[in-house]
Every structure is written in C-alpha cells, then in structure tokens.
Structure 1
Amino acid sequence: MVDSDDPGFGGDRQMCRIFGSFAGEATAPELAAVSARQRHGGPDGRGVLTGRGWSLGCDRLAVTDPGRGTQPYRLPTAPGVLAVLNGEIYNHRELRRRMAARGHRFPDSCDGSVLPALYLEYGPRFAEHLDGMFAIAVLDRRTTAGPQLVLAVDDMGMKPIHYHVAADGSVRFASEIPALLAFDGVPADPREESLDTVLATKTPFGTETALRGIKVVPPGTTAVARPGSGLRVHRRAPYRTPPVTGTAGQDLEETLRVETERLADADVPVCAITSGGLDSGLVTALAASGARATGGAPLHSFHLTYRGRWPDSEHTYARAVALRSRTVHHQVEADPAEFASLLTRTVRHLGQPNADPIALSTYALFRAVHQSGFSVALTGDGADELFGGYDRLRAALAAPEGADWAGGYADALAAVPRMLRNRLYTPAYRAFIAERGSDGDRVLAELRASGTDRLTAIVNFETRWRMPAYHLRRVDHLSMAWGVEARMPFCQPRVAALARALPAEDLRGKRALYRVGRDLLPPSVLRRPKQPFTLPVAAMMTSGSPLMDAVQDLLSPARLLRGGRLRPDRVQALITRQLSRPSGPDALALWALAVHELWTEVAQGLRVPVGCAA
C-alpha cells in the first residue's frame, strides 16, 4: 500500500536523518536500505562512514551553511571523533567562539561542526551545553579499550532516536522506525498489547514503542554503548537557562519574541504555520514583526482547511491573524477524496500507530509548505502542555478535594473509553489485558503517585511522557516526510523555564499567553473558544465517504477474525451507529481501530528477513 509519488518511498530525495550500528557489522546494502527508508528529510547531502564493528551515517537537509557542513562531522586535529546530527543547534555560534578560544578550528560555519570539539572538551556530557532540538550520535574511536558510541536527545525530545539492542549487545539506531527495520535482524514484531495502548493513550508513551525490541532514547538523556555492554541511558543535567530577571509574566513576551526571531534565522526560506488559534497566532505575529524590523521579506503563513463545507473551520481566524500580522497568507485546501490514500502514507511515516486524526492534517499541511518552496516552518506546538491549555487540565484543577481528578484526566487521554474498549475486545484479549494491565492504568498510577500538587504532576507528565511521544514525534516525522524542519519557539529552554516559574493561576487556561496576545492578535482570536487543529472526522465518516469506505475495509469482519482481538459484531455495531447518528466519540473510536489495523499491515510489509536488504 505504497504510492509512488510519496517523497519518502521513491525517487532520489535524501533526508536529514541519522543512523548507524555499533559492536556489530552492517553491510553496504543494509546501510543503503536504511538510508533509503528515511531519505525524504532533505536532498542536500549524504555521508556514511564505516569501520570494523561500526557505521555512522546521515543524509542532510541543509538549513545552515547549505553549501558546506558535510556529515559525519570530524576535525582534522581529532580524526578519532565522529558525529552526526539531526536537528539544529541554536547556540552554535556562541559554542564556536568558546571552542575556538580553546584552540579548535572549524572547516565551515555549520552548526554541527562544533560537536567533535565539544565532545573532546566535555566527553559524554557535551549535550549539557547544547541549546536546540537535536538527536546526535558520536563515535569515539580514541580509547584503547575499544570504541564508544554516545547518543543524545534534546531536553524536550523534539528529535527522536529509535534503537534496537541485539542479544549479543550490538546496537542499531535510526531516526525513524521503518529505517531501523531495514537493518538485518531487527524484528518487526508488534506488541500484543499495542491495540489496547492505542485505544487507551492514542500512542505508546515512554521508552517503549509498539514494536517489541525497539525503543526510543528518552528526552533529556544521553546513552552510552561500549562493546558487549549494550546501551546504558543516563538522565543528564538540563541545559542551563539565564535566571528570570523580573517576574516570569513580565519576561514572557520578550523571551517569546527573542526565541521566535532566533528560530526564524536560517539560510533557507522560513514560514509560519497559522491554525487560527492563540499559540500559532503568537508565533506568527512575533515572527512577522521580526522580519519587518530587520527589513527582511514579508513572512509567509500557511493554514490548512478542507475542500467543501465542514464544521469548525478556522480559516477566518487564521486570515484575521495573517491580516493583523501582515503576512503573505496561503490557505491550503486539502481534498477529502484523497484522505484514504494519505492515511496509508501517514501511518507508514510515523512507524507506529497514532490515533489522533490530526496526523493526516499535519501531513497534508507540510506537503503544501514543501511544494511552496519552504524548508523551515515555525509552529506553536508545546504551548498547551507548558502553559495549561488543555480542558482536561482545567477539569482536574477544578475538581474538589477528594475527587478522583487523576481518573478523569487519564480517561480524557483515551481514544476509546474503558467501558467501550472492554466491550469491543474478545474474551481472550480482555483477559490478556486484565492480567498484563493497561497503559491507561499505568498513566493513572503515575499521576496518583507523583507526590506533588496536581498542576506539577500534570505538567511533568505531559512534558516528560505524553508530549514527546504523542505530539513532538508526530510533528517531526510528518514535517520531515516533506523535507521541512518544524521549529517550535514554545519548546525552547528559556520559554519552558519561564512557564515553570509562573504562578499556578497563570497556567489556568493559558492566562499568561492571553496577556501576551492582547497587543499582537485580533480580538476575534482572543475571544474564541479553544479548538484543536484536527480533522472533522465525525462529519467526514459518513456513508459512502472515502474515509468511511477505508475504515470499513480495514475493520471488515474477516480481517478482525484473523486478528483475534476484536469482536467483529460489536465493531460492526459501532460502524452502524456512526452511519445512522454520526458523533465525535464514535468516529474517533473507529479511527483509532482503523489506524491500528492499518499499522499492523504496514509493519508486516516492513519486515526484512535476516540477511536480506530492504
């Protein structure tokens, strides 16, 4: 189920992705297959180095110093240290000055060129000095005891590294799961509990993925491997931000402005994603203001809507933001007739199931950004998690003392309510989940055992577990599917530190951000009710619609009987109810079931027999 016009799976496009192996051999055909599966990230350069028992590779989307910056990075004075980077190091100029003062010389001005020098100075603690979004692999060949592999992911988890540790301790890693599966011996083995995980939390949280034996390096950690030792993950000290000089509220607007303008600095065209809401509106307004102040070209803004008439359209709000901010506005109209084919591409790019329909919208939006010639897009992602934007947070904080606020919060994360999940499961699968425990139960247990106040418990959970796995990984994979780098000012360390310093009252309904928006955004945007950027699936999943036809095919009785986890009669009753009385909850439940079913098919298609190239 692959379309030949999808840039990720055909043609000669390359990517800004990293991959490699350690303490085990990888053949040239293997490495070529790994690279081919994630080369959609960019066409600007490819490099692979191999040695005895190791390999290191990257295909580059050039955003800084496009003409140079060949990866893997290495310095003439230290050829034993190699590095590859996925992402951006925003403080690379400051680091370059510091390293130059210590005698290091650099062949270009690319941000990743500082990494070997930084590693030489600080060893595996080098990532503590990085301000940016990054996934980095460093190979140190200097030690007499054998080489050492170091993997590091930024504090928020904006750029992922997926890895597999074999029984002999050898390590394979890649930015994307489909690429990792192209290594010999990495199994495409769906977890039996993955269906319940998708229905209970929409996607796997934490270090585990939906495939057995494949994990993800957690946010804010550094992992070290030596021959025979596997991979040992260490949580490092976070990047140190400057102290708050006044009150957090007073500093917020200026900090957002500085970070947005800093992230808009690139050697390629930059645009903004404008949904019509508060968060993306602030980013758009600040970026547009910065472009005018420096005499640059007007900022371009992009908004996705759907061909035809659909409920909850936000295009008027997005246009109001664009007019106020004086951007060159692009209203992208996706065609619902193509959504069934887009769903297959989206699921494949994500590598594991994500039950939020926003994934399809995100993919279509970044396709339009790419087709318009932009390589960098500023987005408002992260504001809800850091500044208290979700309805479920407000409900939890408003619950009276002694009420089960954690239970209500965990239930709000589900794609399918617990009672309906149990009704849809076969007796055997229901018993399996009861014995193993649901991931929804684990979320609930973590919230209850946090030992802190409600607000702190929720923000910690959202930023450490849910946001990286559910939100940021989706944005990363679906933007890079089209060679677009999504940059997120709200996820910058300084902004996150200010959010943590705000009084609890300012985190109820993003009050602090609304104050910032008073002089930047139209009143219509500030007064409107909160609405997530997503797909109107309830209205689109009707009799004879392309999406409903695809869902019915994926949830056919014969297919469900083969799977053995769902009762076909009860799934069919759910479909019948949606066809007769369309509703948001039923549509989301069917969407989640269909996405998981499609993912299991895609995962099997990515299986590579040992000894064969993909």
Structure 2
Amino acid sequence: MCGVTGWVSYDRELTAHTVTLRAMTATLAARGPDGEGVWTARHAGLGHRRLAVIDLPGGAQPMVAETPAGAIALSYSGEVYNHRELRAELQRRGHRFRTASDTEVVLTAYLEWGEDLVEHLNGMYAFAVWDDRTERLLLVRDRLGVKPMFIYPTADGLLFGSEPKAILANPLARKALGEDGLREIFGFVKMPGSAIWHGMRELKPGTLAVLDHNGLRERVYWRVEAMPHPDNAAESVEHVRELLHDIMRRQLVADVPQCVLLSGGLDSSVLTALAAEVLHERGEIPRTFAVSFAGEQDGFVPHVLQDSLDAPFVRQVARHVGTEHTDIVLDHTALADPDNRAAAVTARDLPTGMGEMDVSLLLLFQAARARSTVALSGESADEVFAGYWWQHDPAAQQAPIYPWIAGIGGAQSQTRPMINAGLAARMDIPGHLVGGYADALAQAPVLDTDDPREQRLRRICHVHLSQFLTNMLDRKDRMSMAVGLEVRVPFCDHRLVEYVYNAPWALKTFDGKEKSLLRGAARGLLPSTVLERRKSPYPSTQDVKYLLAVQDQLHELLSRRDATVFEIIERDWVRAVATTDPALIDRATRAFLERLLDITMWLDIYRPEMRL
C-alpha cells in the first residue's frame, strides 16, 4: 500500500534538501514499515515508505527508469489489480521487466502511454511520476478516491503527500486553520477536495494533476456517467454476480497473508463467501475478523440505525463458509482511552472522525495486522447499491440538506449550540450544508428520459458516491495505514459502480428492500437469515460507562483554563452536557461530544495557527 510524498521547486536545487525530504517521508513510516527511499533531481524530490505486498524483494521505491534523455522516477501507493494483463500487453509492445511488482508495470505504462496510462488501470492507487526529461510532475488518484493524495501549492512549485502530516513536515507549509476549515470540521460532511488546512487541498477522485514550468493543471479522467440500462432484473443480478466473482479473483492476489473483515451484514458476508470460494480452491483457509463490545448483549436497545447485534450473524457466516474466525472484543476503557483517541486523531491528521468508532476500527485493524497484511472490507456497498435507510425515506429524499444529516438528526443536526455564538454566525454552517448539497445534486449526471422522481433518486445516489463515500474511505485508509494494514475495497471497482449507478431505482429495490441487486447476486452463497438482514452500520457501543468516561474527560477539560478549544467552543455548553444524565444524551449530542474531544486532542497535538 505504502505512503508517497514529494516536493517540486523550480527555484531551488532540491538535491541540497534531502534532509527535509527524509523528514517528510519519515512521517509516513506507519504506512510503509518495510522500506524507505528518497530520490532527488535538480528541481524535484520523491519520498516513499513501502508496505511490501507483491514481489517483496523487487518492489523498492522510488523506482527509476533511466532513458537517454533523462530519468523518470515513480513513487506509488496502492494496487493495480490488472497488472498481470498490463504486463503482458506492455511486453507485446517491446518492454522488458526486471521485477514482478505492479510498481514496475505502472512505471512502464507511463513510458508507453504518458498520462493516458490512467485509462488502462484497474485498482486503488495514488502516485507521483517525475519526468526529468521535461521537468514535469504527474500526480494521479484512483477513480473512486480509495487512496489519498494531498497537495499544497507553493510560490515556485508544489508539496504533496499521502497524508497532510507529510506536507506539514516541510517548512514551507503553514499549520493554519481558518473558518472554511472549521465549517468542514463541524459540518459532518467532507466537501470534495477539502483538506481543512489553509492552503492545502486534496486531489479529487478520478483526477490527475500535471505541474511544469507553466504551472499546475488538473484533469478529470473518470467520472460516472448516466447511461441507459437495458438489462432486466435477472440479467442485472447475473451481471453483478459475474463482476463480483471477477473482482474477487483480481483482488485476492498478494504475496502476504490476507483476511476479510466480517460484520455479519450483507456486504461483508458476501465478500467473505466469495473470498472463501477462491481461497478454498487454492487450499487455503480464509481468515476473518470482527469487532464487538464487552457485555453488549446485556441491555442492547434496537434503534433506527441498528436493530440487531452483529455477533450472531458473524458466527453464522463464519461457520457457513468455513473461516478461521477471530472476535476482537473491546470494553469501555479501551474505547475511552485518551491514548487511543490521540492515535486515531493523529492517524487522520484532522478532527473529523467518528469518535469511538474510529478507535474501535483502529484497534480492529491492529489486531488483524498481527496475523495479516492485507484485508478485504465492504466499504462502498451501501453507496453503490443504495443501502442506507435514509435513501429510502421520502422525507430525507426531499429534504434540502444531505440525506444522512436529515435522516439521523434533522433540524437538530443543523444547529451547533456548542460553537461560540459569534463564530457560529459567521460560519453559517446550515447555509454551508444546504448550499453544498444543492451544488452536489446539480453536478450529478442523470438521463433526460428519467422522470423527476427517478432523477432525484439518481442524484442522491451520486451524492453518496461523491461526498459520503469519500469520508468512509478516508477513515478506512487512515485507520488501516496507521498500523500498516492494506485494506482493499472490492465494491469500489469502477466497473461495478458504473453498472449499478445506471440501474433504475425499481431495479435497485426490486424485492422491496435496500440493496436488492446485491442480495440477488448473493443468493446461494449465504444463509437466508443473513441475506434478509436489515442494513446494520459499523457498530457503536451502547455501554453507559463509555459516556460516563467521556463526561469525566469533559470535567478535566473544564478545569483547563488555557485550553485553546474554548476559543471555539462555549464553555457553558460543555459544563451542561458534562452533568447531563447519559440516558438523555441523544445521538446528535453524542456526536458533538466526541467531535469536541477530537478537536481538543487535535489542537493539543498540532497547535495550528487559528485564522478566525
């Protein structure tokens, strides 16, 4: 998987700045525990940290191709799942290979096709190519944005990295936070391209950037398009099934141990069953991991997001497909541990996480990494197949704000009572969210032949792909790479996304439930109880002792007279919720509390310059 970083400066001799490049690269050590490399030219430097997955001895980076006109260097993160087919095609075109790595395939593809290599790749990736022949930098991010790439334009070039921390290690980058960044932090929506830090942004999914002496230009090389869907329900189900089988065989290629993250929901159970088929054919026993909470069966209260516990379904699937299964059981002390929160906030570089759900995911990944280097995860199935309950709720469908906000919190979630009144008025978060949603809907591709309802539902599906999925993928990437675990997301295969996006709503719900096409494709693979299980999200603890621990931390915060967070947050609001009966704290307030603790931790660790 790896971490990439670099610096282009047309006014400097960067061969004299290897110390800075090494410092930038060192910040990504967790992403690549197996190797480190730095390469410099006159006006460019690339850094790389390697997590060895394919061709363990042969894939060291940055990888360099020497040509008579100059060197071409690549720093690459991710996996290209069709690298074997590409290797064969490039060999037919006269290229020779020194290694068995997909890294060399990407570098050779650049030699053959230049920036048009993006049209040939299937996978998850973010990479940088410096072409010394033209003193030109190419940055590429995969179609769905599974792998990250942040950029920071400078007066004479560009800084870039897999994570903000790599860029912030360069003295040219300012650790500054403005009102736009705060809107992102408190809005609970990740706007495309946003990076929170002033002057920094993220290369958008499906986009490449080229930097040369004429400046920086960006080009969208892929976006999902609206097209007629000629297949009926049976044909659609069969095509989805065929795609899933092909995707799984492509993605279960590695020279290291692999596993599946199993929650007992439809998405992860389908992946587990498909992976088991492939691995059993190879004579391997599939390995699965799940997270649960100590004592969760005592006093579980079903609610709109989760009406059943995962554990019984996890055990049923593990037995059905024959996996070697491990449960990671966490208690309230691990979830509330400030050191674990600090690790999660540092992994994200930003206080935009999901509180204890980030901590539990980090600990799950850590346990999985002890026995595997690669994991499969079900992210994006809900965005692709329309699996969230609010996508099917008429009120949320028609709301003027993001459906997940309208569905979970409604009007309450549009207010921010915790923020200082003057700052809240200037930021106008409700207006920010309403405007952002209107823009996102307008950008969604639809068919003129669709009726208004079909167009609206298609637009909502697109907003989930463009603005909800990105946050989920960011979370997955940061928590997994913080422990050196490569997590692959089969449902993000662009062929599957394109096909299902264009299926009419009636096909997406042909059996009267969410994710009908996926459920239909999975028939025969799983027990009927799992197939028919209602959508259940990533689990969150209901243990009241966790909220009590959070309130204790709020009391500690209130005792700090110099806490920077109170430049933003109303101290009286914190005092009030710190003494509220935990049984009266609703989901929206709990989310604000966890965001408050994340922000406090982030401010203490990063000490940003506040431009408010």
Number of positions where the alignment pairs a residue of Structure 1 with one of Structure 2: 574
Q: Deviations over 1:530-552 (max 9, x none)?
A: 22113226735433x2x433344
Q: Do the aligned residues in 1 keep the contact of 2:551 with 2:579 (CA within 8 Å)?
A: no
Change (3 A) 1:416 1:503: closer
Change (3 A) 1:587 1:211: same
Please give the residue correspondences for 1:247-286 in structure 2 after superposition, counting only pairs within 5 Å. Answer: 247-286=235-274
Q: Do the aligned residues in 1 keep the contact of 2:296 with 2:543 (CA within 8 Å)?
A: no
Change (3 A) 1:420 1:47: closer
Q: 1:586 aligns with which of 586, 589, 601?
A: 589
**2:22 matched to which residue of 1?**
32
Q: Do the aligned residues in 1 keep the contact of 2:66 with 2:72 (CA within 8 Å)?
A: no
Give the counterpart letter for 1:43 in structure 2.
P
Q: Deviations over 1:408-460 (max 9, x none)?
A: 626338889556734333231122113x8753123332255357411221122
**Aligned mates of 1:239, 1:504 — CA distance in 2:** 16
Give the counterpart letter for 1:443 in structure 2.
G
Q: Which SS does the other structure have where 1:502 is aligned? A: coil
Q: Do the aligned residues in 2 keep the contact of 1:352 with 1:599 (CA within 8 Å)?
A: yes
Q: 1:464 aligns with which of 463, 466, 473?
A: 466
Please give the residue correspondences for 1:554-573 in structure 2 after superposition, counting only pairs within 5 Å. Answer: 554=557, 558=561, 563-573=566-576
Aligned: 1:515 with 2:516: no
Q: Which SS does the other structure have where 2:598 is aligned? A: helix
**Aligned mates of 1:413, 1:163 — CA distance in 2:** 34
**Aligned mates of 1:380, 1:420 — CA distance in 2:** 29
**Aligned mates of 2:136, 2:407 — CA distance in 1:** 40
**2:405 matched to which residue of 1?**
411
Q: Do the aligned residues in 1 keep the contact of 2:22 with 2:47 (CA within 8 Å)?
A: no
Aligned: 1:604 with 2:607: yes
* Runs of 5+ unmatched residues, structure 2: 301-307, 447-454
Q: 2:82 aligns with which of 91, 94, 115?
A: 91
Quote the offset at 1:306 in angstroms. Answer: 2.0
**Aligned mates of 1:355, 1:348 — CA distance in 2:** 11
**1:225 matched to which residue of 2?**
211
Change (3 A) 1:494 1:141: same
Q: Deviations over 1:116-147 (max 9, x none)?
A: 3221222222212111100010011113xxx0
Q: Deviations over 1:269-300 (max 9, x none)?
A: 11000011110010001100111123x21100
Aligned: 1:365 with 2:364: yes
Aligned: 1:431 with 2:425: yes
Q: 2:57 aligns with which of 38, 59, 67?
A: 67
Q: Do the aligned residues in 2 keep the contact of 1:199 with 1:421 (CA within 8 Å)?
A: no
Q: Which moved more, 1:73-82 or 1:115-124?
A: 73-82
Aligned: 1:305 with 2:305: no
**1:542 matched to which residue of 2?**
547
**Aligned mates of 1:515, 1:113 — CA distance in 2:** 39
**1:330 matched to which residue of 2?**
326
Q: Deviations over 1:12-57 (max 9, x none)?
A: xxx8111111125552221222122111123322221112121012
**Aligned mates of 1:507, 1:406 — CA distance in 2:** 23
Q: Deviations over 1:212-237 (max 9, x none)?
A: 011111000110001362x3211114
**Aligned mates of 2:526, 2:493 — CA distance in 1:** 22
Give the counterpart letter for 1:182 in structure 2.
A
**1:354 matched to which residue of 2?**
352
**1:154 matched to which residue of 2?**
142
Q: Deviations over 1:167-214 (max 9, x none)?
A: x13211111111211011111112234344333225x32112111011
**Aligned mates of 1:354, 1:415 — CA distance in 2:** 18
Q: Deviations over 1:554-577 (max 9, x none)?
A: 466746686333222123223333
**1:10 matched to which residue of 2?**
none
**1:321 matched to which residue of 2?**
317
**Aligned mates of 1:86, 1:67 — CA distance in 2:** 16
Q: Which SS does the other structure have where 1:331 is aligned? A: strand
**2:45 matched to which residue of 1?**
55
Q: Do the aligned residues in 2 keep the contact of 1:537 with 1:587 (CA within 8 Å)?
A: no
**2:8 matched to which residue of 1?**
22
Q: Do the aligned residues in 2 keep the contact of 1:198 with 1:415 (CA within 8 Å)?
A: no
Q: Do the aligned residues in 2 keep the contact of 1:361 with 1:534 (CA within 8 Å)?
A: no
Aligned: 1:524 with 2:510: no
**Aligned mates of 1:237, 1:153 — CA distance in 2:** 10
**1:127 matched to which residue of 2?**
118
Quote the offset at 1:239 in angstroms. Answer: 10
CA RMSD, 1 decimal: 2.7
**Aligned mates of 2:184, 2:177 — CA distance in 1:** 12
Q: Which moved more, 1:381-390 or 1:569-578?
A: 569-578
**1:9 matched to which residue of 2?**
none
**Aligned mates of 1:430, 1:76 — CA distance in 2:** 55
Percentage of matched positions with identical amino acids: 29
Change (3 A) 1:113 1:413: farther
**2:477 matched to which residue of 1?**
476
**Aligned mates of 2:80, 2:341 — CA distance in 1:** 33
Give the counterpart letter for 1:57 in structure 2.
G
**1:500 matched to which residue of 2?**
501
Give the counterpart letter for 1:531 in structure 2.
S
* Runs of 5+ unmatched residues, structure 1: 1-14, 608-614
Aligned: 1:108 with 2:99: yes
Change (3 A) 1:575 1:507: farther
Give the counterpart letter for 1:467 in structure 2.
L
Q: 1:207 aligns with which of 193, 216, 222?
A: 193
**1:610 matched to which residue of 2?**
none
Change (3 A) 1:300 1:440: same
**Aligned mates of 1:269, 1:39 — CA distance in 2:** 21
Q: Deviations over 1:556-603 (max 9, x none)?
A: 674668633322212322333353524333222211222223222222
Change (3 A) 1:460 1:448: closer
**Aligned mates of 1:275, 1:580 — CA distance in 2:** 27
